[in-house]
Every structure is written in C-alpha cells, then in structure tokens.
Amino acid sequence: MREILIAALCCFAGAATAQTPSLLGFAPAGASAETALEARFDTYLDATRIGARLKVLSDRPHHVGSPGDQLNARRIYDEYKACGFDVSVDTFYVLFPTPKTRLLEMTAPVPYKALLAEPSLKEDATSGQTSEQLPTYNAWSADGDVSGQLVFVGYGLPDDYDQLARRGIDVKGKIVIARYGRSWRGIKPKVAQEHGAIGCIIYSDPKDDGYFAGDVYPEGAFKNEYGVQRGSVMDMPIYPGDPLTPNIGATKDAPRIDRKDAVNLLKIPVLPISYHDAEPLLKSLGGPVAPEDWRGALPMTYHLGPGKTVVHLKLEFNWDIKPIYDIVARVPGSVFPDQWIIRGNHHDAWVNGAGDPLSGQVAMLEEAHAIGELLKTGWRPKRTLVFCSWDGEEPALLGSTEFVEEHARDLQRHAVAYINSDGNGRGFLNAEGSHALQPFLEQVARDVKDPETGVSVLERRRAREAVNSADTKQRSELLASYPFHIGALGSGSDFSPFIQHIGVPSIDLAYGGEDPGGEYHSIYDSYDDYRRFKDPGFVYGVTLAKTAGRTMLRLSEADVLPFDFTALSKTIEGYEGEVTALAEKMRESTTVDNRLIREGYYRLADNPAEPIQAPSPKTAVPFFNFAPLQNAQAALSKASGRLQKVLTPALSGDTLRVVNTGLYQAEQQLLSDQGLPRRPWYRHTIYAPGFYTGYGVKTLPGIREALEQRNWAEVQQQIDLDAAVLSQFADYLDRLATSAGAPE
C-alpha cells in the first residue's frame, strides 16, 4: 500500500508536462482540463466592459439607505440574472446613523468655524452631486454637544497617552484631536473615551495623506486640503454588523436590543476633518512641543496643549433603521451541489465609491459574466458557485455579517471557502487568508500574468520583495527560492464574519501598490479619479478577475480540495514562536526598564527644562507554562503531515466526499465556544482583528493580547485554551487522515 501511495503522490504533485503545470487537487488529466477551462474563462474577460460598468455603478452616491444604493442593487441583480444565475436578494434592516447637525468651532483663543465640506471640482464630474452625498462624518459617533480644552494626542493610541502622561497631560474632560493613521480609525475615539475625553476629532495630516505624499487632487492623486476621510467608528473589534442584533440576522422581525445596550457604540461625539480645518486648531495649541514622531507636514510647530484653545463640538444624528440589500447569485454544482464556493465584494460606498468598493465589485461581476458565458457553452461547475454583492460594508460589515449570522448553520455545513475582494488597483498581488490554502494560492499566483510586465504576479511580488529588501541575506534567499507567504486576516472587509465568527476558510485578494492617493472615503473616490490614478485601462480589474476566477474554478473543479494543513501547522508554529519570544522579551525589558526607573536613570537622562517623567514601573512578567501549547503543536504537526500524505487522486467515491467535507470544515475546529475574552463574537483562536489595532490582525489573539495588555492570569488561561483547541484540531485531522486511509 505504502509504495503505491508514494507513486501516486509523485505523479500527483510533480509537474505533469511542459504545457500543463501541476495543480493541487487535480490528477494530471484534470489539471489539463482545468487549465484549458481557465484559458476559456480568460477570453470572456474584457477591460472595456469593466470600465464601463465602473462608470455606471459610480454615477451617483450609493451609501446605505440611499436611492443610489437601491438602484445599484437592482443593476447588480439584473447583471447576475443576465448571466443566467439563480439570483436572490437578502434584505436586512439595520441601524444606520446619518448626520442631522454637525458643528465644530474654536471659541478661544481666536474664533474659527470648521468648514466640514469638500468642494466640488470641475475636473471631477460626480463631485458636485451635493444633495445626494453623505456629509463628512464618522458613523456611530454618539450624539453630543461638548465644549472643552483641546489636546493633540498624536495618533490617539494607548502608547500615545503614555507619552502625554509622562508630560503631565491628562485628557479627562477635554476634547482630543488625533491624526488619522497607524490604526483603524475607530480605535482613536475608543481610546480617547477610555481616557475620559469628552469628544474626539480625527484629522488627515498632509504628511500621511496630502501634499507631503504627492501632488494633490485634482492635479495629482493625493488629498487636497479640504478632503475628509469618512468612516465607521463602531467598536467592531467587539462585534461588527447591526449593533442591535448581535449574533443573529437583522431580519425584519429579529429581536433587537436597545441602542444604549449596544456595547460596541461610543458614548462620545467624533468628527473627521480636513487638514484645512485642523490647521487653525493645531496652530493655536500651547503646551509642550509634540514628540517628533507625532509632528506632521503642516507648516508650524506641533504642540500638545492643553492651553487657551477651546473647541465646541456639536453632533446629532438620525438613528434610523435602513434596509440593506445583499445580492446573492448561485450557479448550482453539477457534481457536489452541497459544496459552495463563495465569492463576495460589497457594493455600498460612502459616496460614489469608484475605488472602494466598485473596482472590486466590477471585477467580480466580470467573473460572473465569464462564468455565464461558460454556462452558455454547456459547461457546469462541479461545485456550487455563489456570488455575493454585499450591502452595508462601510458602516460595519453589515450585509456580510447579517448574512453570516442568519445562515451560519448552512454556511458551516456547505461553504468550502469564501473569496473576498474590495478596492483594487494597479500593482502587486496582495493575498491574505487561511494558511491551509497558502500553497494553493501560490499556484494561482504562479498562473496569472501581470499585465504591465508579462511575468506571473507571483514573480512580480518576488521581484518587489527582493528589490525592496535592505538585507543582503534575505535578497540572496529570494533569488534562490521564493517562499510565498500570505498574510493573516484581520478585519476591514467582508471576510471577517466568515472566518472569525464561523470558521469558513477565507481569502482576501487585491492588487495595489501603484495606485496611492487620498480619495479614500471622500467625494473624490470617483470614476474620474479612478481612471486617472488607480487603474487606467482597467487591466488590473481583468487581473483580479483572472485571479479570483482561478481561485473559484480550481476550488470548484478539484478532485481533492487543495487544503494543506501542514502549511497551516507551520504557520501556527511560527505564531507560537512569536508569542513565546514576546513573553520573554517583555520579561527582560520589564526587568531592565523597572531598574532604570527605580534607580533614577530616567531622571538623570531627562532634560530638567523640558521634563518628561519616567514611566511608571510595570508588573514583572511571570514565566508561563507553554508546554500544553507545544505538545498540541507537536500533535498538530504530526497529524497534518499524516493527512497530507494521503490527499491523493487515489481517493474517490464516498471516501473522497467524506475527506473533502472534512477538509473544508476543518477550520471550524479552530473556533472556541466562548470566543475571545470580552468579545465572544470572535471565535477563531488563530486570527482576529486587534482590540487596539482594529483592522490589523492579531494572531493567536487570546494569548498575544493578554500579553500585550499585561493580563498575566489571562495569558495562562488562553495558552491552555488554545492548546486544547489545537489538540482537538490535531485529533480531527488525525481522524480525517484515518478516514482517507492513512496507515496508523
């Protein structure tokens, strides 16, 4: 048995012929057919059509609850219909605040009333649709009417408040102004609120997002002085989706909690402003000069306050329930109709949203078009394809979260994988997702050509990494071989409920890096902006369609689903190394720093004329018992290796069906029943958005965040919990290997 298996494996994994590359999950003949199918798929993709579709869908503002949103839902519905798909609309009813009153004024030392408006430009055809545009605001700000001294808090993150404290500055009862950047925006008012601030202003500094970066719109792509980044400030690291219906779909009749009981809503008012509006406020601040790292590109000395500067912030919102429209289009599988390959991209925007989200949406619709053309030739997918055009992503991943919460049980039973995209542009492939799909995605990247250079998108990524690396050893290694790594998923788009709430293997795909600009969430994210600065010719729209299309088609047509849990096991092992090293590093640095504090070194290093007090000593970091985690990892490594050996074309019939189901449901084993501490909606033990980063991922989040937050008891609890989950996962893979015929 053993030798046969090995022979089959060689045949299966090796390169078949010069014409046909090996494809994970396919026997050579299947790989040839799949390659031919993909070539046909490509012939139906058309950049001009992508561009035309983008122009139509971005022709007016289409935020949640707007006529434009409803119109686009209809257009998308019609387009799927025209592809011959089975289309439905999942409508949910969600809370969505829109501004009623917005006032920001400086009352001392000199009066200034903030404009809070982005002017229309003759170079931007849709920028003048003022009556339909949502004004500049942060959704989920609290209603409020507050006046207080102003304090500049840098990027508004926890460490920044430590810096303020060392300079004797407290924000209690004051209004803070923070720079956009370094975290998801919603973290800034949350941390401000935690520190007792009564209001929060977030501004775009021209250093991060304006003239420092490049010429400003409409001359160039970067943010002009009036541009404002709208966006959600719901505390989505607690839970996303409709705040009134946590864990359940926000259907018409769903039970709803009271708004004041929604723990992910802020208690303080928050407003985003332009650098035009920020400049007079910041310029008037007294107090110490800001740390160098906080200073931006406005022509002035940045001070911290507080001082004579007093601002008045008044915000009121319409707290309405609005309908959202998820358009769901299905192509039933001909062989495994109960196994679903799900593709998604949202369609709602803050304003016209040509880049975010329509550039991804129109590529996805082009994939649907190509599938429709394939259907016309008589082709049928083996597995069911599902296209989802989500509504309400911008305020809080509303459409995808409500859908997932509503259909959790079916999705956990049937969903093979969820493939997400969002904004897209010129440049390099960025892929993130479930690491069991990493080797599979490497093959996809190997087989898609970059439109600018003609090499594979994999090779182009490698070139960038090699050229950008400052480390000769790393460059040399990249020349020898390219270890393709995908990032882990945090949050910021619709994959979050799939992977983090219900454990559906997920992937997020985007091209970018040659499309920077300042249009994000402003009225200038328009067709005119996009075609000039983001993807002229829409060729990266085609490239995204090729990439996501191959991902869908290979998952749909593979004999054995191309999961590789040895890749996941190695990745988790890396994370374990990181948290172990983090504990060690924190222990050492705490010991040394406490000595420096207690023995007066900070005082001696300080400048008595501009004092920066020593930080407070920190609690010592105990030693933790990592053994349970290490033992679980050893079991996982063994089990995943044992399983991988038997995932060959030798599998067939019921065994194949059982194995495939076991493969795509495996990630659910990584969920914990209780979820993460203080945010049980997040149940994945390996991946979560950071509590204090927002979009940014935390891997092994339970352990890592307990460490970062110096909650020592919780560190050990989380180590034990993750070890139990990983053990259970190892057992699961082991049983699956046995089902697949692995020798004991």
| Residue numbers at the binding site for a copy of itself (CB under 8 A) | 206, 211-216, 220, 222, 289, 295, 297-301, 426-427, 452-453, 455, 459-460, 462-464, 466-468, 472-473, 475-476, 479, 514, 585, 588-589, 592-593, 595-596, 599-605, 607-609
Shortest Å distance, C-beta 215 to a copy of itself: 5
Task: Please identify, using beta-carbon distances, which residue of 81 and 464 lies nearer to a copy of itself.
Answer: 464
Shortest Å distance, C-beta 510 to a copy of itself: 17
Contact of 546 with 446, CB cutoff 8 Å: no
Shortest Å distance, C-beta 179 to a copy of itself: 15
Shortest Å distance, C-beta 356 to a copy of itself: 21
Residue 409 tokens, joined: 């049980």
- The position carrying tokens 């006046």 is 147
All residues at 6 or more sequence positions from 512 whose CB lies less than 8 Å from its CB, including other chains: 423, 424, 425, 426, 427, 428, 430
Shortest Å distance, C-beta 447 to a copy of itself: 17
Angle 539-557/438-446 helices, nearest 10 degrees? 130
The CA distance from 345 to 348, in Å, is 10
Residue type (1 letter), 104: L
Coil/strand/helix, residue 507:
strand
Of the candidates 559, 656, 54, 102, the one whose C-alpha atom is nearest the C-alpha of residue 356 is 54
Task: Please identify, using beta-carbon distances, which residue of 484 and 602 lies nearer to a copy of itself.
Answer: 602
Of the candidates 231, 135, 152, the one whose C-alpha atom is nearest the C-alpha of residue 187 is 231
Distances (CA, A) of 693 to 176, 182, 593: 19, 8, 25
Task: Please identify, using beta-carbon distances, which residue of 476 and 625 lies nearer to a copy of itself.
Answer: 476
Shortest Å distance, C-beta 607 to a copy of itself: 5
Shortest Å distance, C-beta 446 to a copy of itself: 15
Shortest Å distance, C-beta 218 to a copy of itself: 14
Task: Please identify, using beta-carbon distances, which residue of 5 and 586 lies nearer to a copy of itself.
Answer: 586
Shortest Å distance, C-beta 303 to a copy of itself: 8
Shortest Å distance, C-beta 297 to a copy of itself: 6
- The position carrying tokens 């997020």 is 508
All residues at 6 or more sequence positions from 678 whose CB lies less than 8 Å from its CB, including other chains: 238
Residue 235 tokens, joined: 């505390």
Residue type (1 letter), 108: A
Task: Please identify, using beta-carbon distances, which residue of 316 and 514 lies nearer to a copy of itself.
Answer: 514
- At 665, give phi and psi (nearest 5°): -90, -5
Task: Please identify, using beta-carbon distances, which residue of 90 and 450 lies nearer to a copy of itself.
Answer: 450
Task: Please identify, using beta-carbon distances, which residue of 573 and 606 lies nearer to a copy of itself.
Answer: 606
CB burial class (10 A; 0-12, 13-18, 19+) of residue 578? middle
Q: In this structure, what is the dihedral angle of CA atoms 347, 507, 418, 391, given to the nearest 10 degrees?
A: -20
Residue type (1 letter), 91: T
- The position carrying tokens 């995908």 is 486
- At 386, give phi and psi (nearest 5°): -130, 120
Contact of 632 with 727, CB cutoff 8 Å: yes
Task: Please identify, using beta-carbon distances, which residue of 602 and 712 lies nearer to a copy of itself.
Answer: 602
Shortest Å distance, C-beta 211 to a copy of itself: 5
Shortest Å distance, C-beta 516 to a copy of itself: 10
DSSP 667: G
Please give the distance of CA 368 from its chain centroid, rounded to a whole number. Answer: 23
Task: Please identify, using beta-carbon distances, which residue of 197 and 298 lies nearer to a copy of itself.
Answer: 298
Shortest Å distance, C-beta 54 to a copy of itself: 19
The CA distance from 99 to 134, in Å, is 8
Task: Please identify, using beta-carbon distances, which residue of 55 and 462 lies nearer to a copy of itself.
Answer: 462
Burial 262-292 (b: 16+ CB within 10 A, else e): bebbbebbbbbbbbbbbbebbbbbebbebbe
Task: Please identify, using beta-carbon distances, which residue of 161 and 533 lies nearer to a copy of itself.
Answer: 533
Contact of 387 with 370, CB cutoff 8 Å: no
What is the total residue count of the chain?
A: 744
The CA distance from 675 to 510, in Å, is 29
Task: Please identify, using beta-carbon distances, which residue of 320 and 584 lies nearer to a copy of itself.
Answer: 584
Task: Please identify, using beta-carbon distances, which residue of 330 and 460 lies nearer to a copy of itself.
Answer: 460
